[in-house]
């Protein structure tokens, strides 16, 4: 009769296994060392971090069995010997002093919390028999260790291990495991961070039960009981709220990030110190990327006097002149420009648009490298025009910038002066592309995105173009802001470019040193700009201070000087530069190939000298300082050469070129 009733109940009330399988986990984000960045409770308001049985300390498994259910491996959900023992103890005491719940029964009780009674115990026993028929002992034990209460809203051994000892459950020592295994009996009474002496006494009971079960020796028991435990601090170790939120967006369950807590805190300190000199409404953001690993090692979304929840590192903003290096690189790879090629800083008119420079002055013809260093607007616009707007946009996209599909129509040539918005994270990663010699990779934030760093990378620019930019924008050619008083040996090597948006709402400084790419943005979230928000003044000193940090400073030798670029189709001078005397052939900074040890050139200059008289008496030509009697055809050998011409009005022009 009893077996028939049991069989009927078994089939009439099947075990609700889905209620156990849907154990909610709490998102937890850590840095690369496992230090906590952010944790959130699960939707049932519990802090729970699930972990497999294989990733738990063996001591923890043995301690839990010894403390809660010594015959767990032998019974089938209900332990008759434990029932008999508890009944006898309770009868003698005249009250309930001992229970007979197995670990399996406790799992069933956690699934359906009921007031303790004989009826509830019978239901738990029935469910335990069902569960043992469905799950293995290992799976039941794993579920218990992930669901058991360890104090407050802390559920599971992984969350408890992280909270009390700042380590994973896999790394618990015997003493730590015994202390945690004793908590579920009375979590509030035995919490080590609140009641250490009571927790110590309970730990001793668990260790002695482990000896009785044959899991450890009496000597191990005494050693573990005497071990001094280091409880973890209760505060979050690393302050990186915006990076942690970005990690949760990529992985809602959380995980280990690529952030380096030490670098993150060092960057925070630099921005905090720099913020002392900024107006109250100003916000700072910074990004540091490990170039080789394509990994974000520091990200501050909002710091300084006006810090807020706004993540300025991920927000699209106008980069000002910080895009100019990529436009010059596009021209380098197109064969229309070299570092010494003459470009023109003259007033121009492009369809009622009359751009000027920050200083509202013009410098006339000058080498391309100098124009880029000085961040002159007109030469950059002419370079973008000569290289081709589509080519320039293609380079920017290939370097990782997420530009709109209609970028050509939206920005046009104003691209050269910040006509398109980009985020600090994207732009810093684009400079990481320069640091990799033109190879672009998406920036990683989660450690398990490691495969992306090893996947076939896309080449956006040639290594020669990147080396040329490194040389032009090197800290060896100009002293970084904030380092004016240092001697040359104390200035670290890095290349960088600043930017200032129209209206002075955004000040930028971004660069790399071959090891790290670093970007700094200083600005206002909304409202009018500020007079102080100029890239070279508001952002560059912070960038220089970051590159001087011991963890970020370049320790290897400075990169070698680049080889001259081959200029096949030099940019023509703009019509507005017609009054200037300019040598058109050979182009400045070009490299010619010698055949049989000689290269043949036909010197030409602009303006009135482009006719047949351009090599006649009206124009005098000098090769390496020597007057040429006939400059229609000139044969030169391998090496560096200078060609100069002077017209009757006294105007002069000169170019240097290389023959190899």
Average pLDDT over residues 48-66: 90
CA atoms within 13 A on the CB side of 439: 12
| H helix intervals, 114-234 | 118-134, 137-147, 157-165, 174-181, 187-190, 196-212, 218-226
Q: Where are the beta strands (DSSP E) in 532-646?
A: 583-585, 591-592, 599-601, 604-605, 620-623, 626-627, 634-636, 639-646
Average pLDDT over residues 292-305: 92
Average pLDDT over residues 465-490: 90
Whole-number Å distance between alpha carbons of 425 and 17: 45
Asked whether the beta carbons of 284 and 542 are under 8 A apart, the reply is: yes
What would the pLDDT profile of 502-556 be if each residue is shown by its tens digit? 889 999 999 999 999 999 999 987 767 888 899 999 999 999 999 999 999 998 8
Residues 6+ apart with CB under 8 A from 522: 278, 282, 283, 284, 285, 304, 506, 507, 508, 533, 538, 539, 542
pLDDT at position 606, please? 62
pLDDT at 363 over 90: no
Whole-number Å distance between alpha carbons of 267 and 552: 10
- For 229, counting Cβ atoms within 10 Å of its Cβ (0-12 exposed, 13-18 middle, 19+ buried), the class is middle
Interstrand relation of 458-459 and 439-440 (parallel, antiparallel or unpaired): antiparallel
Tokens 């660069």 belong to 511
Indicate which residues carry an active-site annotation. Answer: 68, 321
Which residues are 659's β-sheet partners?
A: 592, 639
Among the ranges given (26-35, 40-49, 343-352, 569-578), the one the predictor scored with the smallest mean pLDDT: 40-49
pLDDT at position 614, please? 39
Residues 6+ apart with CB under 8 A from 499: 319, 320, 321, 322, 323, 418, 506, 507, 508, 509, 510, 535
pLDDT at 382 over 90: yes
pLDDT at 422 over 60: yes
DSSP state of 236: -
Confidence category of residue 603, pLDDT binned at 50, 70, 90:
confident
pLDDT at position 116, please? 67
pLDDT, averaged across the chain: 85
pLDDT at position 401, please? 95
Which of 107-111, 451-455, 546-550, 646-650 has the highest mean predicted lDDT (pLDDT)?
546-550
Q: To 5 degrees, how large is the angle CA 610–CA 611–CA 616?
A: 95
Whole-number Å distance between alpha carbons of 576 and 466: 30
Which residues are 353's β-sheet partners?
A: 350
Among the ranges given (196-200, 496-500, 602-606), the one the predictor scored with the smallest mean pLDDT: 602-606
Residues 6+ apart with CB under 8 A from 334: 387, 388, 391, 569
What would the pLDDT profile of 86-115 be if each residue is shown by its tens digit? 544 545 544 444 456 888 888 888 877 666
Whole-number Å distance between alpha carbons of 190 and 3: 42
Which of 77-86, 123-132, 557-566 has the highest mean predicted lDDT (pLDDT)?
557-566
Q: Is 438 helix (H, G, I), strand (E, B) or coil?
A: coil
Q: Which helix (H) or strand (E) holds 367?
A: strand 364-367
pLDDT at 646 over 80: yes
Number of Cβ within 10 Å of residue 322's Cβ equals 31
Output 20 or 9, whichever has higher pLDDT.
Answer: 20
pLDDT at position 609, please? 38
Which residues are 155's β-sheet partners?
A: 48, 149
Confidence category of residue 207, pLDDT binned at 50, 70, 90:
very high
Which residues are 643's β-sheet partners?
A: 623, 655
Encoded tokens for 12: 């009439």
Average pLDDT over residues 479-495: 87
Domains of the chain: 16-226 (1.10.3810.10), 320-487 (3.40.710.10), 581-659 (2.60.40)
Whole-number Å distance between alpha carbons of 343 and 320: 20
Encoded tokens for 228: 């001094």
pLDDT at position 1, please? 44
């Amino acid at each position: 009769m009893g077996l028939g009733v049991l069989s009927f109940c078994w089939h009439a009330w099947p075990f609700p296994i889905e209620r156990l399988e849907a154990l909610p986990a709490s998102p937890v984000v850590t840095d690369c060392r496992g230090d906590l960045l952010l944790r959130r409770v699960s939707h049932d308001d519990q802090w729970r971090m699930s972990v497999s049985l294989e990733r738990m300390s063996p001591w923890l498994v043995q301690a839990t069995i010894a403390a809660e259910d010594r015959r767990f491996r032998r019974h089938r959900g209900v332990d008759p010997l434990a029932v008999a023992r508890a009944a006898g103890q309770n009868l003698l005491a005249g009250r309930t002093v001992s229970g007979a719940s197995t670990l399996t029964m406790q799992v069933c009780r956690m699934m359906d919390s009921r007031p303790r009674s004989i009826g509830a115990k019978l239901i738990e026993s029935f469910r335990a028999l069902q569960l043992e028929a469905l799950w293995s002992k290992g799976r039941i034990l794993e579920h218990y260790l992930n669901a058991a209460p360890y104090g407050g809203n802390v559920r599971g051994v992984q969350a408890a291990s992280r909270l009390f000892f700042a380590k994973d459950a896999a790394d618990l020592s015997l003493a730590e495991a015994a202390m945690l295994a004793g908590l579920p009996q009375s979590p509030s009474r035995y919490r080590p961070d609140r009641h250490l002496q009571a927790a110590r006494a309970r730990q001793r009971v668990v260790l002695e039960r482990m000896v009785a079960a044959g899991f450890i020796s009496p000597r191990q028991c005494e050693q573990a009981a005497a071990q001094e435990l280091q409880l973890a601090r209760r505060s979050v170790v690393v302050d990186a709220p915006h990076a942690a939120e970005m990690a949760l967006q990529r992985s809602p369950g959380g995980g280990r990030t690529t952030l380096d807590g030490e670098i993150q805190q060092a960057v925070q300190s630099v921005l905090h110190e720099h913020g002392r000199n900024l107006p109250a409404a100003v916000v700072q953001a910074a990004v540091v990327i490990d170039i080789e690993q394509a990994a974000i090692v520091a990200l501050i979304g909002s710091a300084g006097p006006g810090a807020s929840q706004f993540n300025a590192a991920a927000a699209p903003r106008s980069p000002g002149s910080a895009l100019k290096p990529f436009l010059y690189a596009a021209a380098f790879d197109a064969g229309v420009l070299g570092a010494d090629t003459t470009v023109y800083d003259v007033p121009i008119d492009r369809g009622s648009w009359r751009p000027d420079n920050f200083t509202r002055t013009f410098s006339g013809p000058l080498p391309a490298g100098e124009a880029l260093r000085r961040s002159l607007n007109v030469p950059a616009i002419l370079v973008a025009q000569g290289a081709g707007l589509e080519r320039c946009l293609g380079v920017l996209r290939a370097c990782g910038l997420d530009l709109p599909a209609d970028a050509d129509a939206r920005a046009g040539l104003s691209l050269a002066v910040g006509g398109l918005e980009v985020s600090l994270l994207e732009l810093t990663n684009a400079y990481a592309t320069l640091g990799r010699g033109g190879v672009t990779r998406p920036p990683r934030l989660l450690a398990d995105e490691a495969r992306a760093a090893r996947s076939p990378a896309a080449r956006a620019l040639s290594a020669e173009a990147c080396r040329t930019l490194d040389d032009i924008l090197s800290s060896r050619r100009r002293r970084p802001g904030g380092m004016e008083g240092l001697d040359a040996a104390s200035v670290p090597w890095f290349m960088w470019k600043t930017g200032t948006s129209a209206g002075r709402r955004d000040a930028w400084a971004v660069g790399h040193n071959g090891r790290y790419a670093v970007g700094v943005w200083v600005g206002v979230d909304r409202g009018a700009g500020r007079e102080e928000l100029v890239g070279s003044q508001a952002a560059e000193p912070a960038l220089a201070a970051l590159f001087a940090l011991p963890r970020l400073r370049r320790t290897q030798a400075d990169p070698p000087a680049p080889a001259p670029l081959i200029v096949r189709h030099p940019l023509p001078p703009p019509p507005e530069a017609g009054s200037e005397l300019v040598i058109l052939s050979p182009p400045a900074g070009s490299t010619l190939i010698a055949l049989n040890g000689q290269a043949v050139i036909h010197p030409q200059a602009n303006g009135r000298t482009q006719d047949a008289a351009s090599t006649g008496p009206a124009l005098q030509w000098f090769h390496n300082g020597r007057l040429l009697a006939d400059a229609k055809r000139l044969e030169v050998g391998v090496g560096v050469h200078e060609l100069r011409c002077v017209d009757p009005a006294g105007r002069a022009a000169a170019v240097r070129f290389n023959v190899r």
